Every structure is written in C-alpha cells, then in structure tokens.
Structure 1
Amino acid sequence: MTTAAQVIKTRLPNPPPPVETLLREVHAAVGELKAKDVVEIDVRGKTSVTDFLVIASGTSTRHVKSIADEVVKFAKRLDVQPLGVEGEREAEWVLVDLGDIVVHVMLPRVREFYGLERLWTVGDQPPEAAP
C-alpha cells in the first residue's frame, strides 16, 4: 500500500543539478564531439538571464548541429530539459538554453562576426599600465 507521501514524492521532479555539475556535462558534451575554441564566460551580475555562457565552434553546419545535439543529450542525462534550442535548421549558430547556462555553437565566421566573447567581457580586463 502506498502512502500519500510516496505518491507526492513520485510526482515531484528531481531538483536541478548544481550549475557546476551542469557545466561539467556541457564541457564533456562539446569535448566529446571535438568542438573548437571552447570558452566559458561567467555573466553573473551582468545579466539576470543566465549565469554562464559557453561558446564553441564547429567546423561545418553538420558539426555545429551535432555538437548542440550532444549538449542536449548530456543535459537530459541530468534530467535537465532545455528551455529552448534555436537555429538548428540553418545550423550556423545553434543556441541551447539550459537556464543557468546558455550554450552557443557557431561556425567560426559567424562567431567572429558577432563577437560574443568581446561583448560579454568588455571591462573585465584591468586597464593597461601607463608607459
């Protein structure tokens, strides 16, 4: 015989994993498919949308899509369902929104054009010492 507490427990979703655990899985996923130039940017305090951006490059549209699919697969292993995946059709820039982490997988020319690393790290470097 099941108790009310057991019924409630089976209906409650698992709590989300710590962001560090999810970051490790994201890095494992992009590493599994040999993404290029992987960068992690801590944007806490700069935006309320997410805590981290992970930016990676693929060598072709097929590679970009495959990397993004691998990120989704690895996240689901932690019971994390993406809030959204955008850009899969063209696969020049695929965004995977995992809540605390947003993953951008891009072709190098698209990545260079939009310069997300420059955009999100402006002002992070200490000023150059005067000569």
Structure 2
Amino acid sequence: MTTAPATDAAAKKLLTKLQRAIVDGLEDVKAADIRVFDTEHLSPLFERVIIATGNSNRQTKALAASVRDAVRDAGLPKPRSEGEDNGEWIIIDCGAAVCHIMQPAIRQYYRLEEIWGEKPVRMKLGAVKPRNLTAPPEEQATPARKSAARKTAAAKPVARKAATKKVVAQKAPAKPLAAKPVAPAAKKAAPLKTVVVNKPTARKAAAKRAAPAKAPARKTPSRKA
C-alpha cells in the first residue's frame, strides 16, 4: 500500500511521474497522436486524461499492456483496464490519470478532445527515458547509444571480411606474365636466278612463231581424155 502524498509538491511530482510513465508506455508500441489534458478543474475523480490512437485491435491491446507495465515499473499502483475484449476502445484507469486508447474511427466519432481538451498539457514526446542505475551497463545505455552499438556490432563482421580479403589479396603471389610469342624472323627472299638466253636461238624461235602456217596445197582435178 502506498501512502498519500503529504504535500502538494509531492502530489504534483507523483502526477508528473505517472503521466510520463503512461506516455512512455504508449511510445514504446508506436501509438499515434498522443494528447495529454489537464482535467483537474473538470472532474474530482482524475487530474489527467491521455488519449492515443492504435491502428488495429492487436496494437490497442499491445498499447494497453505496455502502459500497465510502464506504470508498474515506475513503482506506481497497478492500473485497471476495460475494453480489451473488443480492442476498439480500451480505458486504463491509473488513479490520478485515465488513458484512452482508441482506434481512428472510434476516436473521430466520440471526439474526447472536445470534452476534456480545454487545458492541454505540453509534454516532450520521444524523450529519452531515465537510466536504471541498478541495471547492467549495457541496459543503462540510451536508445541512441544502443542503436549505434548495434550498428557498430553489425559492421564488425563486414569489416573483418573486407580486411581478410585484403590480406589474402596481398599474400597471393602475382602470376608471372606470359611471355609474348616472338614473331619468327621473316625469311630472306631467295636471290633471283639469272637465266642466260642464247640470242640467236631465241630469234629463230620467235620467227617460227611469227610465220603463218602454210596453207595445204590444193589438188587439181585430172581431166579425162
């Protein structure tokens, strides 16, 4: 059992812690359009109304579970919830704050912002969560550092492979260049043989070729007596 806060300052601190835990739980499951409203002047039952959107039954149920876990991890009383059977509109009663997780069509139809939205509360969405000093060092790292560490760890195997390839490439002996085939030396042309021509013999042969062939002699027919 938790004791009631003794002063207003303690009560405000506790309320700030509660609304921060609820918003963190919603952000962990990617809730859309998170709004926080101050309702202290409208109802004596609760001081904050928080509205968020889930795109499906599965997401709204996951958001409700995440909010309950975040409130419990903050050391606050365990909240009560309604509407998880249907999943279209889940109400989580956290005492001083009430969280409405609605699907888009339901949220647009009921327009809770027009009822409770007179005094919006400004909150830094996407804020870095405080580190748990009792957790191991790797769990104390912020989300940005965790993502950077994951990227570095993922890049190490790639860098090792690249370094191995470089070492192998350096160690591998270079293949000797194949000697280019030397073209055989061109054969020297054989010297032309000089032929001595007997001029008188050549002239006679030329004269024979030039002389026309003799026509055969005609036979004269013999006359009868």
CA distance in 2, matches of 1:115, 1:60: 18
Percent identity of paired positions between Structure 1 and Structure 2? 28
Q: Would you identify which runs of 4 or more consecutive aligned residues in structure 1 move more than 3 Å?
A: 14-17
Deviations 1:47-95 (A, max 9, x none): 111000000000101000100111011111123211x210000000000
Correspondence for 2:99: 103
TM score, norm. by length of structure 1: 0.79
Q: Residue 67 of structure 1 is aligned with which of 63, 70, 74?
A: 63
**Relative contact order, CA 8 A, sep 6+: which one is greater?**
1
Q: Kindly state the Cα deviation for residue 121 of structure 1 after the two structures are TM-superposed.
A: 2.9
* Alignment of 1:80 onto 2:77: yes
Number of residue equivalences: 111
Correspondence for 2:15: 19
TM score, norm. by length of structure 2: 0.47
Structure 2: which 5+ residue stretches go unaligned?
A: 5-12, 120-225
- Structure with higher strand content: 1
CA distance in 1, matches of 2:107, 2:21: 22
Q: Kindly state the Cα deviation for residue 14 of structure 1 after the two structures are TM-superposed.
A: 3.6
Q: Highest CA radius of gyration, 1 or 2? A: 2
Q: Residue 93 of structure 1 is aligned with which of 89, 93, 97?
A: 89
For the residue of structure 1 that corresponds to 2:44, the secondary structure is coil
Q: Root-mean-square deviation (CA), in Å?
A: 1.8
CA distance in 1, matches of 2:51, 2:67: 12
Q: Kindly state the Cα deviation for residue 120 of structure 1 after the two structures are TM-superposed.
A: 1.6
Q: Which amino acid in structure 1 is aligned with residue 55 of structure 2?
A: T
Structure 1: which 5+ residue stretches go unaligned?
A: 1-12, 125-131
Correspondence for 1:115: 111
CA distance in 1, matches of 2:76, 2:99: 17
Residues 18 and 76 of structure 2 are in contact (CA less than 8 Å); yes or no, is this contact kept in structure 1? no
